[in-house]
């Protein structure tokens, strides 16, 4: 099951999105909860093994899947075998790889049962090779303030990812390797907010991230062995050992429960969540729930740099609930959330409290709405208890535990994050997203367009516009931020993406 809704328009919107992304039919099932119609979006197995289909969903970006039984669900086509996995939310990269075809509710199938992937009856493994090549041309505006002056900077960010997936009915192997050349027009004094370099957090050991001998060179080549795991399926239990994606929470933009290497919102290439080294066990719980527990191992499996987690997820009365307990860096996180409908709106609420060396609370809540088949909007509020009210003290946060190991990257206390996506044509999608720091009145807005120029070939253009008070020198010597986003240069990018 991909999702459940009281509102049929939202169910159809998710079903159409899944059809676009996966290029196969979904099924819409109607039942009753609390005397009201409730709609589930389901993807059938169609002759495939559950392990094989889970592998494919992960490749397409549906990282967090779990098994469940649908014996109690009344399907319109009783001969169809339904998919024994559920997804807590749409994939993060939904605008990255979606083949933008116009689809309406008539494309939703309630009867299609023929298999579209053959599985060898003897259980011989399927081996699949896939991946992408991306290049981003980036231009950053000049910056001038009382503290310093920086000329325009030009970048070329490139990535090539090779993905090897192999599976039988109850065993799977996953390997992803990414090579990323980066060139800049001048030597930088710090990192790039639009580009992630692996720092080894939550990995026992790792390849050397840079393949370039001279760290001061304007051209660097980075590598990332991002997935290396084996998966075992034993009745209603899935076990995954090795480097994998581990995600928490249901919020659309900022997940308070998520501590394992979330992306900064300004990063360009976020299609695949960064892998961590983990031992993970997932077990079905009733018809629509899951128990998910594991260990995430840091450098040399040292307890100080490692973590343990427990997640519980279930659906009650048409509402999806989750609870999380995480131990990391001698900190204890307890959190939970709910997803539901509020009339024609989709609604989510998520909160986490962290106690230990540093105590703080984080909360996200928001709504989404399908204005039509082609226009979809979202709005989220986020409270960051780990942040500060005084912008002049922002830089000190980077040395604190929440920012080093707790997955926190926002510096202020309160945020508002709106977003709007428009499918302008079958091949062209437009989007606008903003994040407003309500603490210091700074903001950034991104406007982007994606065009599908050929099969598996995409062109993107976008603009990041920042506003707020800029950098300053305190006491004539100490660099201080006037606001979170005011010191960032406006940025334009254009990209080409090819998938194979």
pLDDT in tens, 385-420: 999 999 999 999 999 999 998 999 999 999 999 999
- Going by C-alpha positions, the residue among 338, 221, 231 that lies closest to residue 282 is 231
Q: How many residues does the chain have?
A: 500
Question: Who contacts 246 (Cβ-Cβ below 8 Å, separation ≥6)?
Answer: 260, 276, 278, 280, 294, 296, 309
Flag the least confident range among 116-120, 154-158, 309-313, 368-372. Answer: 116-120
358 SS3 class: coil
How far is C-alpha 179 from the geometric centre of its chain's CA atoms?
Answer: 20
Mean pLDDT of the chain: 81
Q: What is the mean pLDDT of residues 467-479?
A: 79
Say if residues 449 and 456 touch (Cβ distance below 8 Å).
no
Q: Does residue 124 or residue 205 have the better pLDDT?
A: 205
Let me know: does 221 contact 207? Beta carbons within 8 Å.
no
Q: Tell me, what's the pLDDT at 49?
A: 52
* DSSP output for 377-390: EEEEEEEETTS-S-
Instruction: Answer whether residue 292 shows pLDDT above 90.
Output: yes
- Predicted pLDDT at 134: 96
Q: What is the pTM of this model?
A: 0.78
Contact 322, 304 (CB under 8 A): no
> Does residue 99 contact residue 452 with C-beta atoms inside 8 Å?
yes
Mean pLDDT across 17-35: 66
**Domain 3-107+131-499 indexed as CATH 3.60.15.10:** no
Specify the range with the lowest mean pLDDT, choosing from 70-74, 236-240, 475-479.
70-74
Residue 47 has pLDDT above 80, yes or no: no
| Per-residue pLDDT at 92 exceeds 70 | no
Q: How far is CA 422 from CA 16, 101, 297, 347, 348, in A?
A: 14, 13, 41, 20, 22
In this prediction, residue 115 carries a pLDDT of: 35
Structure tokens at 157: 């960010």
Q: List, for residues 240-272, the tens digit of each pLDDT value.
A: 999 999 988 888 999 999 998 777 777 888 888
> For residues 213-252, b (16+ Cβ closer than 10 Å) or e, as one string?
eeeeeeebebbbebbbbebebeeeebebbbbbbbbbbbbb
* Residue 278: predicted pLDDT: 97
pLDDT value of position 139:
94
Please report the pLDDT score of residue 91 as a whole number.
43
The whole-angstrom separation of Cα 404 and Cα 224 is 20
Residue 110 has pLDDT above 70, yes or no: no
Closest CA to 413 of 435, 448, 386: 386
- Give yes or no for residue 121 having a pLDDT over 90: no
Q: Quick one: average pLDDT of 361-369?
A: 97
What residues does each domain of the chain span? 3-107+131-499
Q: Which two structure tokens, joined as six digits, stand for 161?
A: 């990812």
Three-state DSSP at 210 gives strand
| pLDDT of amino acid 106 | 33
């Amino acid at each position: 099951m991909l999702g459940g809704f009281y509102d049929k328009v939202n169910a159809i919107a998710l079903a159409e999105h899944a059809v676009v992304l996966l290029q196969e039919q979904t099924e819409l099932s109607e039942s009753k909860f609390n005397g009201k119609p409730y709609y589930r979006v389901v993807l059938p197995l169609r002759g495939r093994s559950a392990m094989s289909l889970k592998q494919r969903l992960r490749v397409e970006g549906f990282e967090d899947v779990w098994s469940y039984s649908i014996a109690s669900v009344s399907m319109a086509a009783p001969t169809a075998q339904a998919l024994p996995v559920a997804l807590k939310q749409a994939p993060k990269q939904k605008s990255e790889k979606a083949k933008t075809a116009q689809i309406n509710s008539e494309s939703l199938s309630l009867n299609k049962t023929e298999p579209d992937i053959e599985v060898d009856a003897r259980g011989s493994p399927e081996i699949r090779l896939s991946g992408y090549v991306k290049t981003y041309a980036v231009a950053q505006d000049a910056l001038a303030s009382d503290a310093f002056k920086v000329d325009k900077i030009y970048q070329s960010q490139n990535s090539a990812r090779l993905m090897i997936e192999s599976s039988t009915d109850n065993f799977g192997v996953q390997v992803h390797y990414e090579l990323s050349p980066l060139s800049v027009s001048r030597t930088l004094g710090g990192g790039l907010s639009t580009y992630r370099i692996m720092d080894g957090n939550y990995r026992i050991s790792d390849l050397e991230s840079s393949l370039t001998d001279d760290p001061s060179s304007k051209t660097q080549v980075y590598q990332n062995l991002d997935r290396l795991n084996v998966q075992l399926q034993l009745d209603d239990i899935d076990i995954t050992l090795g480097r994998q994606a581990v995600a928490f929470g249901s919020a659309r933009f900022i997940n308070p429960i998520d501590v394992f290497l979330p992306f900064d919102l300004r990063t360009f290439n976020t299609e695949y969540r960064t892998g961590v080294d983990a031992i993970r066990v997932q077990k079905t719980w009733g018809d629509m729930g899951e128990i998910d527990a594991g260990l995430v191992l840091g450098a040399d499996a040292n307890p100080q740099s490692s973590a343990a987690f427990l997640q519980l997820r279930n659906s009650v009365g048409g509402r999806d609930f989750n609870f999380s307990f995480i131990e990391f860096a001698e900190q204890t996180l307890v959190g939970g959330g709910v997803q539901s409908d509020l009339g024609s709106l989709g609604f989510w609420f998520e909160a986490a409290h962290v106690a230990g060396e540093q105590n703080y609370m984080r909360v996200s809540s928001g709504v989404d709405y399908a204005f039509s088949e082609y226009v979809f909007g979202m709005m989220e509020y986020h409270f960051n208890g780990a942040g500060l009210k005084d912008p002049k003290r922002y830089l000190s946060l980077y040395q604190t535990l929440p920012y080093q190991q707790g997955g926190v990257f926002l510096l202020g206390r309160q945020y508002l994050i709106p977003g709007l996506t428009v499918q302008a044509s079958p091949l062209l999608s437009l989007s606008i997203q903003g994040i407003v720091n309500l603490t210091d009145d700074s903001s950034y807005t991104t406007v982007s367009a994606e065009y599908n120029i050929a099969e598996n070939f995409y062109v993107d253009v976008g603009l990041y516009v920042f506003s707020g008070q800029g950098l300053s020198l305190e006491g004539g010597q100490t660099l201080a931020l006037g606001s979170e986003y005011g010191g960032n240069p406006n940025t334009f990018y254009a990209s080409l993406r090819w998938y194979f």
